[in-house]
Chain A
Amino acid sequence: MDFELSDDEVALADGIRALCAGRFPLDRLRAAEDGDGRIDTEGWGELAEAGVFSLQVPEAAGGVGLGMAAGAVVFEELGRALIPGPVLASHLAAGTVDGAAEGKVVVGAVRRPAVAGPGALVPPLVGHLPSLDVLLAVGPDTITAVDPAEIDAVPIGRSLDPLTPLFRVDRLPEGRPIGGAEEARAWRRAQWVLGGAFLVGLAAANLDMAVAYAQQRQQFGKPIGSFQAVKHICADMLVAAETARAAVHAAAVTIDQPGVGDPDRAAAGAGLLAAEAAMKNGRSSIQVHGGMGFTWEVPAHLYLMRARVLSEAIGPVGDLAELVAELY
């Protein structure tokens, strides 16, 4: 038993972090805030080349052949860098949807409710629609692939996360079935872990930002980070991020190594704690930044709004908590 990151896992994280810092610096991402909302296809290709989508596709099928633990390491870095676009759905679709692993086909996903009428989406929102080549609808017992060209959609004037443009879709075509109950279950479980990893990255980014500001911002003749009222907010942010990170890693390893635990309970709990950590750290970072935290300029809010997007994608968090309670 050695629950520390292996040298290979550390190298993988460093590689993705370097790629993100070089290719997707925050200034560059923010320049797209007022753009057309299309994802940067060249950048998407570079993520693919780095193995972000093919990471868990077996080597025999042309992938990298790694497991969920490696996925968690990579997705934390993507979250830390606020990478926009349906990276999670494209990663999960790789190996099933042709071209996804190579980044040639961009795949999005929505949750198809069990009870609503045929074709209805609740709420009727799809992200990044014009950039998608395939939209997967994941229901309780099915996964279907929908051709985005067949979808009637109206852009939402203003999306909560400026880097996740939303579209109103009132009726979703049935699509072509590509998976049954087992695949849908595996999808949800992987989504909790990798979405959780992305959320941990968002939580960590806001922690780093808040700590840096608390060290540099002076009031009453000293850095505000020397006051316990501020210091303790930062300590609680670290506790939230590190606890969620341990949970996400444990869930990933529980999926990779059968027999070490209950993967559904571990994954749902990890998703829950990661979502709460990312949102808590978003709120706290805005608070530590004071008035500046409420300005558009300081990016704390971008990580918070993305945390909401991700929490909705993997949640709702209340359902995750209830699932853990059932499985405990």
Chain B
Amino acid sequence: MDLRYSEAEEKFRIDLRRWLAEVLPTLPPKPSAFDWPARRVYDTTWQRMLFDAGYAGIDWPVEGGGRAASPVEQLIYLEELEHAHAPYVGVNFVGLLHAGPTIVVEGTSEQRARFLPPILRGDEVWCQGFSEPGAGSDLASLRTKAVRDGDEYVVTGQKIWTSHAEVADYCELLVRTGDEGSRHRGITWLAMPMDSPGIDFRPLKTIAGSTEFGELFLDGVRVPVANRMGEENDGWRVTMVTLSFERGTAFVSEVLESMELLRDLRRLARRTGAFAEGDVRRRVGRLGAELDALWALARRNVSQAARTGVPGVGGSVYKLGLSEIRQRIGELGMDLIGAAGLSWDELDGLDGAGPLGNAELVNLWVHGFSRTIAAGTSQIQRNIIAERILGLPKG
């Protein structure tokens, strides 16, 4: 077991740190979280900067146009971006972390040439069309139907939880091409252009009052067969490739961000006097120890990926732990600000507010509820751990 970085790894870190210090001050101000067109501009501008500096698609293989950084370098990359408070992947999430890696592995050379460079350059944004009102955790029961008509598929159905669909160019879409009961044997993966006729998007309002995702209604949308990734009815296998990436290093930044949040909360608790209470100190200490352990687990998962080439099922352990810790951090924040947590409006001059104001802490707490649901609920993660790691029988 070795936690020291090699000379080459340290050089990678120093170069990146130097570049970040140079370019971050040149970024425009961050747009409002509710203004999706402005967010697209901001996120794709950042992506273009990464591309120009050779940091785009850091985890992608060279043949996909990426940098093919080692898993350890990817970890350093995420660590440095987080420490420098660089922008998150934002609207490029699906392109860079889902669709792109899938096309790298499953696409033909024409498909790679068509789809990959615009993702890396920040020219094209992707959204996700996997879940349906009737197919959540049980994704294989999806019903959006695609019927072959010459060299096109005609797609009709409904998708849900689609983020930033209104500013996306493409949708990674799962459709049913097999018969009704075919489940995972009758699913196909399509790249659907979002300017096709027949697509209607209706935003959903979250419990935070924001519109972060919505419903996608598809009525006779024509998608070229050339946009199919993998074979017809082989989309489930193609999808599993995608999801394994999501559970790889996708949550590393959040652990580091959470550590900083916890230090901010401790500062807040010291200022309000709450840190004098043993209970508050022990809550901070437990969360701190758990975050340190998750960071250790992240480095273990990365080391495993470096040896075997694929992210292990350990990602589920990590995701489950982190989701629940995020909620407890949110609760600690609310407990510390007391009645100020009843207001979404920033209460200027609030005693003890800042560096985290009440609005940010309310937001943190409320968003915590999505953590144990999105990207595989905690219950699904427990099933994965029990069945795939512990070998317990399927129910």
A-side residues, CB < 8 A to B, are 1-6, 9, 69, 211, 214-215, 222-223, 225-228, 231-232, 234-236, 238-239, 242-244, 246-247, 249-250, 252-254, 257, 259-261, 265-266, 268-270, 272-273, 318, 320-326, 328
Docked-complex contact A321 and B281, CB < 8 angstroms: yes
Docked-complex contact A231 and B297, CB < 8 angstroms: no
| Minimum CB–CB distance for A204 against chain B, Å | 12
Docked-complex contact A214 and B285, CB < 8 angstroms: no
Contact of B390 among A227, A238, A269 (CB under 8 A): A238
Residues of B contacting A321 with CB < 8 Å?
281-282, 285-286, 289
Residues of B contacting A234 with CB < 8 Å?
386, 390, 392
Docked-complex contact B282 and A1, CB < 8 angstroms: no
Docked-complex contact A9 and B266, CB < 8 angstroms: no
Binary interface encoding of chain B residues 1-39 relative to chain A, with 1 for a CB under 8 A from any of its CBs, else 0: 111111001000000000000000000000000000000
Contact of A239 among B306, B385, B395 (CB under 8 A): B385
Given contacts A223-B393, A273-B293, A328-B288, 6 further A-B contacts (CB under 8 A): A2-B307, A243-B297, A246-B296, A249-B300, A250-B3, A321-B282
Residues of B in contact with A, size category = 35 or more
**With known contacts A321-B285, A328-B262, A3–B290 Cβ distance under 8 A:** no
State whether the Cβ of B41 lies closer than 8 Å to any Cβ in chain A. no
Between-chain CB contacts (< 8 Å), 29 pairs: A1-B2, A1-B299, A2-B2, A2-B307, A3-B300, A211-B391, A214-B392, A225-B393, A226-B393, A231-B395, A232-B379, A234-B390, A235-B381, A236-B382, A243-B294, A243-B297, A244-B293, A246-B300, A249-B300, A250-B293, A260-B4, A270-B293, A318-B282, A321-B282, A321-B286, A322-B285, A324-B286, A325-B266, A325-B285
Residues of A contacting B290 with CB < 8 Å?
243, 273
**Residues of chain B in range 296-320 having any CB-CB distance to chain A below 8 Å:** 296-297, 299-300, 302-304, 306-307, 314, 317, 320
Residues of B contacting A2 with CB < 8 Å?
1-2, 303, 306-307
Q: Which residue of A lies closest to B263 (CB)?
A: A328
Residues of A contacting B383 with CB < 8 Å?
228, 231-232, 235
Residues of A contacting B304 with CB < 8 Å?
4
The 9 closest A-B pairs by CB, nearest first: A269-B289, A321-B285, A325-B285, A250-B296, A247-B293, A324-B285, A235-B382, A246-B296, A231-B386
Q: How far is the CA of A253 from the CA of B387 in the complex (A)?
A: 31
Docked-complex contact B293 and A243, CB < 8 angstroms: yes
Residues of B contacting A249 with CB < 8 Å?
1, 296, 300
Residues of B contacting A268 with CB < 8 Å?
289
State whether the Cβ of B278 lies closer than 8 Å to any Cβ in chain A. yes
Q: Which residue of A lies closest to B385 (CB)?
A: A235
State whether the Cβ of B203 lies closer than 8 Å to any Cβ in chain A. no
**With known contacts A1-B72, A211-B390, A328-B262, A250–B292 Cβ distance under 8 A:** yes
Q: How far is the CA of A155 from the CA of B6 in the complex (A)?
A: 55
Docked-complex contact B385 and A238, CB < 8 angstroms: yes
Residues of A contacting B294 with CB < 8 Å?
243
| Minimum CB–CB distance for A193 against chain B, Å | 13
| Minimum CB–CB distance for A91 against chain B, Å | 19
Docked-complex contact B392 and A215, CB < 8 angstroms: yes
Docked-complex contact B285 and A211, CB < 8 angstroms: no
Docked-complex contact A228 and B379, CB < 8 angstroms: yes
| Minimum CB–CB distance for B196 against chain A, Å | 40
Residues of A contacting B307 with CB < 8 Å?
2, 4
Residues of B contacting A222 with CB < 8 Å?
393
Docked-complex contact A238 and B1, CB < 8 angstroms: no
| Minimum CB–CB distance for B164 against chain A, Å | 32
Residues of B contacting A214 with CB < 8 Å?
392
Docked-complex contact B266 and A328, CB < 8 angstroms: yes
**With known contacts A272-B289, A324-B288, A232–B5 Cβ distance under 8 A:** no
State whether the Cβ of B389 lies closer than 8 Å to any Cβ in chain A. yes
Q: Which residue of A lies closest to B300 (CB)?
A: A3
Select the residue from A235, A323, A326, A328 with max chain B CB neighbours within 10 A.
A235
Q: Which residue of B lies closest to A250 (CB)?
A: B296
**With known contacts A3-B299, A228-B379, A269–B3 Cβ distance under 8 A:** no
Docked-complex contact B395 and A232, CB < 8 angstroms: no
| Minimum CB–CB distance for A301 against chain B, Å | 22
Residues of A contacting B320 with CB < 8 Å?
235, 239
Q: How far is the CA of A207 from the CA of B264 in the complex (A)?
A: 36
Select the residue from A3, A211, A214, A321 with max chain B CB neighbours within 10 A.
A3
